[in-house]
Amino acid sequence: MAQRTFDDFDKHANEYREIHTQNVKLTGGDSFYFVNQKVLILKENENSNNLQMLDVGCGDGETEVFIQKHLPGWKVNAIDVSAASVKTANEKNIANTSFQLFNGTDIPFTDNRFDVVFIASVLHHVDFSLHGVMMKEIYRVLKPEGRLYLFEHNPLNPFTQYLVNTCDFDKDAKLLFHWYCKKVLKKTGLISVKIKFILFFPRQGFWGKLKGVENALSWLPLGGQYFFKCTK
Protein backbone atom coordinates (compact mmCIF):
# COMPACT_ATOMS: atom_id res chain seq x y z
CA MET A 1 0.00 0.00 0.00
CA ALA A 2 1.45 3.38 -1.03
CA GLN A 3 2.23 5.93 1.65
CA ARG A 4 -0.36 8.69 1.92
CA THR A 5 1.05 12.09 0.95
CA PHE A 6 -1.70 14.56 0.00
CA ASP A 7 -5.39 13.75 -0.27
CA ASP A 8 -6.69 13.99 -3.84
CA PHE A 9 -9.04 16.93 -4.48
CA ASP A 10 -8.98 16.89 -8.29
CA LYS A 11 -12.27 15.02 -8.48
CA HIS A 12 -13.96 17.50 -6.11
CA ALA A 13 -12.68 20.75 -7.63
CA ASN A 14 -15.88 21.71 -9.47
CA GLU A 15 -18.32 20.63 -6.78
CA TYR A 16 -16.35 21.33 -3.61
CA ARG A 17 -18.58 24.17 -2.36
CA GLU A 18 -21.77 22.25 -3.05
CA ILE A 19 -20.52 19.18 -1.17
CA HIS A 20 -19.20 21.26 1.73
CA THR A 21 -22.39 23.33 2.04
CA GLN A 22 -24.48 20.18 2.16
CA ASN A 23 -22.16 18.70 4.79
CA VAL A 24 -22.26 21.73 7.12
CA LYS A 25 -25.94 22.67 6.73
CA LEU A 26 -26.65 21.59 10.32
CA THR A 27 -24.42 24.45 11.49
CA GLY A 28 -26.68 27.08 9.95
CA GLY A 29 -23.87 28.36 7.71
CA ASP A 30 -22.77 27.43 4.22
CA SER A 31 -19.29 26.82 2.83
CA PHE A 32 -18.86 30.48 1.87
CA TYR A 33 -19.74 31.65 5.38
CA PHE A 34 -16.84 29.76 6.92
CA VAL A 35 -14.36 31.03 4.34
CA ASN A 36 -15.54 34.57 4.98
CA GLN A 37 -15.07 34.16 8.73
CA LYS A 38 -11.43 33.20 8.31
CA VAL A 39 -10.74 36.21 6.12
CA LEU A 40 -12.44 38.45 8.67
CA ILE A 41 -10.04 37.06 11.29
CA LEU A 42 -7.15 38.09 9.05
CA LYS A 43 -8.65 41.56 8.75
CA GLU A 44 -9.07 41.84 12.53
CA ASN A 45 -5.46 40.85 13.17
CA GLU A 46 -3.67 42.82 10.45
CA ASN A 47 -3.62 46.61 10.39
CA SER A 48 -2.44 47.13 6.82
CA ASN A 49 -4.28 46.94 3.52
CA ASN A 50 -1.06 46.66 1.53
CA LEU A 51 0.47 43.26 2.27
CA GLN A 52 1.88 40.30 0.36
CA MET A 53 0.12 37.03 1.27
CA LEU A 54 0.72 33.40 0.39
CA ASP A 55 -2.21 30.98 0.59
CA VAL A 56 -0.93 27.40 0.95
CA GLY A 57 -3.56 24.90 -0.15
CA CYS A 58 -5.84 27.45 -1.78
CA GLY A 59 -8.23 24.93 -3.30
CA ASP A 60 -10.78 26.57 -5.60
CA GLY A 61 -9.68 30.09 -4.68
CA GLU A 62 -12.74 31.13 -2.71
CA THR A 63 -10.56 32.58 0.08
CA GLU A 64 -9.14 34.99 -2.47
CA VAL A 65 -12.65 36.13 -3.43
CA PHE A 66 -13.15 37.30 0.15
CA ILE A 67 -9.63 38.72 0.41
CA GLN A 68 -10.47 40.91 -2.57
CA LYS A 69 -13.71 41.93 -0.85
CA HIS A 70 -12.32 42.74 2.61
CA LEU A 71 -8.63 43.45 1.93
CA PRO A 72 -8.52 44.68 -1.67
CA GLY A 73 -5.01 46.11 -1.36
CA TRP A 74 -3.43 42.76 -0.56
CA LYS A 75 -1.47 40.97 -3.27
CA VAL A 76 -1.95 37.21 -3.04
CA ASN A 77 -0.04 34.25 -4.40
CA ALA A 78 -1.99 31.03 -3.92
CA ILE A 79 -0.72 27.47 -4.41
CA ASP A 80 -2.20 23.98 -4.33
CA VAL A 81 -1.28 20.40 -5.22
CA SER A 82 -4.58 19.89 -7.06
CA ALA A 83 -4.30 20.88 -10.74
CA ALA A 84 -8.08 20.83 -11.18
CA SER A 85 -8.55 23.14 -8.18
CA VAL A 86 -5.94 25.59 -9.47
CA LYS A 87 -7.69 25.62 -12.86
CA THR A 88 -11.02 26.38 -11.18
CA ALA A 89 -9.43 29.15 -9.12
CA ASN A 90 -7.76 30.76 -12.13
CA GLU A 91 -11.08 30.88 -13.97
CA LYS A 92 -12.38 33.32 -11.32
CA ASN A 93 -9.99 36.04 -12.57
CA ILE A 94 -9.53 37.61 -9.13
CA ALA A 95 -7.66 40.91 -9.06
CA ASN A 96 -4.19 41.09 -7.43
CA THR A 97 -4.11 37.29 -7.24
CA SER A 98 -2.03 34.55 -8.84
CA PHE A 99 -2.76 30.82 -8.58
CA GLN A 100 -0.28 28.09 -9.38
CA LEU A 101 0.37 24.39 -8.90
CA PHE A 102 3.11 23.18 -6.54
CA ASN A 103 4.42 19.81 -5.44
CA GLY A 104 3.33 20.13 -1.80
CA THR A 105 6.81 20.37 -0.30
CA ASP A 106 8.80 23.01 -2.20
CA ILE A 107 7.14 26.43 -2.12
CA PRO A 108 8.07 28.12 -5.43
CA PHE A 109 9.03 31.52 -4.01
CA THR A 110 12.19 33.18 -2.72
CA ASP A 111 13.17 33.59 0.93
CA ASN A 112 11.61 36.35 3.04
CA ARG A 113 8.91 37.11 0.45
CA PHE A 114 5.58 37.30 2.31
CA ASP A 115 4.11 39.39 5.11
CA VAL A 116 1.42 36.79 5.78
CA VAL A 117 1.11 33.07 5.10
CA PHE A 118 -2.38 31.56 5.37
CA ILE A 119 -3.00 27.80 5.56
CA ALA A 120 -6.56 26.76 6.36
CA SER A 121 -7.90 23.23 6.85
CA VAL A 122 -4.98 21.76 4.92
CA LEU A 123 -2.69 19.83 7.25
CA HIS A 124 -5.29 17.18 8.10
CA HIS A 125 -5.13 16.23 4.40
CA VAL A 126 -1.33 15.87 4.49
CA ASP A 127 0.68 12.93 5.79
CA PHE A 128 2.20 13.62 9.22
CA SER A 129 5.70 12.99 7.87
CA LEU A 130 5.36 16.09 5.67
CA HIS A 131 4.05 18.58 8.24
CA GLY A 132 7.49 19.63 9.41
CA VAL A 133 8.72 19.95 5.82
CA MET A 134 5.85 22.27 4.92
CA MET A 135 6.31 24.39 8.02
CA LYS A 136 10.02 24.86 7.31
CA GLU A 137 9.18 26.05 3.81
CA ILE A 138 6.56 28.44 5.18
CA TYR A 139 9.12 29.78 7.64
CA ARG A 140 11.59 30.28 4.80
CA VAL A 141 9.27 32.40 2.64
CA LEU A 142 7.96 34.53 5.51
CA LYS A 143 9.56 37.95 5.94
CA PRO A 144 11.21 38.65 9.30
CA GLU A 145 8.33 39.43 11.68
CA GLY A 146 5.92 37.97 9.11
CA ARG A 147 2.83 36.18 10.41
CA LEU A 148 1.50 32.69 9.87
CA TYR A 149 -2.21 31.95 10.31
CA LEU A 150 -2.96 28.24 10.55
CA PHE A 151 -6.56 26.99 10.85
CA GLU A 152 -7.54 23.42 11.64
CA HIS A 153 -10.57 21.39 12.68
CA ASN A 154 -10.69 20.57 16.38
CA PRO A 155 -10.92 16.82 17.08
CA LEU A 156 -11.95 17.56 20.68
CA ASN A 157 -15.29 18.82 19.38
CA PRO A 158 -17.66 15.87 18.78
CA PHE A 159 -19.76 17.79 16.25
CA THR A 160 -16.63 18.50 14.21
CA GLN A 161 -15.77 14.82 14.34
CA TYR A 162 -19.25 14.00 13.02
CA LEU A 163 -19.03 16.50 10.16
CA VAL A 164 -15.61 15.22 9.09
CA ASN A 165 -16.69 11.59 9.29
CA THR A 166 -19.73 12.26 7.06
CA CYS A 167 -17.99 14.41 4.42
CA ASP A 168 -17.00 12.75 1.15
CA PHE A 169 -13.73 14.65 0.67
CA ASP A 170 -12.71 14.20 4.33
CA LYS A 171 -12.84 10.40 4.30
CA ASP A 172 -9.01 10.15 4.48
CA ALA A 173 -8.50 13.15 6.78
CA LYS A 174 -6.52 12.74 10.00
CA LEU A 175 -7.51 15.50 12.42
CA LEU A 176 -4.76 17.21 14.38
CA PHE A 177 -4.90 17.98 18.09
CA HIS A 178 -3.94 21.57 18.86
CA TRP A 179 -1.02 20.53 21.05
CA TYR A 180 0.46 18.60 18.13
CA CYS A 181 0.25 21.65 15.85
CA LYS A 182 1.77 23.86 18.53
CA LYS A 183 4.72 21.51 18.86
CA VAL A 184 5.29 21.48 15.07
CA LEU A 185 5.09 25.27 14.86
CA LYS A 186 7.51 25.87 17.71
CA LYS A 187 9.96 23.30 16.36
CA THR A 188 9.99 25.27 13.10
CA GLY A 189 11.30 28.31 14.95
CA LEU A 190 8.18 30.45 14.89
CA ILE A 191 7.60 32.62 17.95
CA SER A 192 4.60 34.18 19.67
CA VAL A 193 2.60 31.02 18.93
CA LYS A 194 -0.90 32.00 20.06
CA ILE A 195 -4.03 29.89 19.72
CA LYS A 196 -7.73 30.75 19.68
CA PHE A 197 -10.66 28.36 19.50
CA ILE A 198 -13.57 29.42 17.29
CA LEU A 199 -17.01 28.30 16.06
CA PHE A 200 -18.59 27.03 19.27
CA PHE A 201 -22.27 27.36 18.35
CA PRO A 202 -24.53 26.75 15.34
CA ARG A 203 -25.25 29.84 13.26
CA GLN A 204 -29.05 29.70 13.47
CA GLY A 205 -31.94 29.75 15.94
CA PHE A 206 -31.30 30.17 19.66
CA TRP A 207 -27.68 29.06 19.33
CA GLY A 208 -27.02 31.72 16.74
CA LYS A 209 -27.70 34.38 19.35
CA LEU A 210 -24.71 33.11 21.34
CA LYS A 211 -22.24 33.79 18.54
CA GLY A 212 -21.34 37.10 20.19
CA VAL A 213 -19.89 35.41 23.27
CA GLU A 214 -17.52 33.13 21.34
CA ASN A 215 -14.59 35.52 21.64
CA ALA A 216 -14.79 35.23 25.41
CA LEU A 217 -14.56 31.44 25.04
CA SER A 218 -11.57 31.45 22.69
CA TRP A 219 -9.37 29.93 25.41
CA LEU A 220 -11.66 26.89 25.76
CA PRO A 221 -10.45 23.92 23.66
CA LEU A 222 -13.95 22.87 22.58
CA GLY A 223 -14.61 25.12 19.58
CA GLY A 224 -15.30 23.50 16.24
CA GLN A 225 -12.03 24.85 14.90
CA TYR A 226 -8.91 26.58 16.16
CA PHE A 227 -6.31 28.85 14.66
CA PHE A 228 -2.74 29.78 15.46
CA LYS A 229 -1.18 33.16 14.81
CA CYS A 230 2.63 32.94 14.84
CA THR A 231 5.49 35.30 14.06
CA LYS A 232 8.84 34.69 12.39
What are the domain boundaries of the chain? 10-231
The count of C-alpha atoms lying within 13 angstroms of the C-alpha of 137, restricted to the half-sphere facing its C-beta, is 19
Q: At 136, which amino acid appears?
A: K
From CA 59, how far away is CA 132, in angstroms rounded? Answer: 21
pLDDT at 204 over 70: yes
pLDDT at 4 over 60: no
Fold of 10-231: Rossmann fold (3.40.50)
Q: Could you report the per-residue pLDDT of 28-82, keeping only the tens digit for each?
A: 888 889 999 999 999 999 989 899 999 999 999 999 999 999 999 999 999 999 9
The whole-chain average pLDDT of the chain stands at 91
In sequence order, the 6+-apart residues with CB closer than 8 A to the CB of 71 are: 39, 42, 43, 46, 49, 51
From CA 45, how far away is CA 147, in angstroms rounded? Answer: 10
For every residue of 161-213, DSSP letters joined together read HHHHHT-GGGTT-----HHHHHHHHHHHT-EEEEEEEE--S-SSHHHHTTGGG
Q: Could you report the per-residue pLDDT of 106-165, keeping only the tens digit for each?
A: 999 999 999 999 999 999 999 999 999 999 999 999 999 999 999 999 999 998 998 889
From CA 133, how far away is CA 97, in angstroms rounded? Answer: 25
Average pLDDT for residues 157-185, to the nearest whole number?
91
What is the total residue count of the chain?
Answer: 232
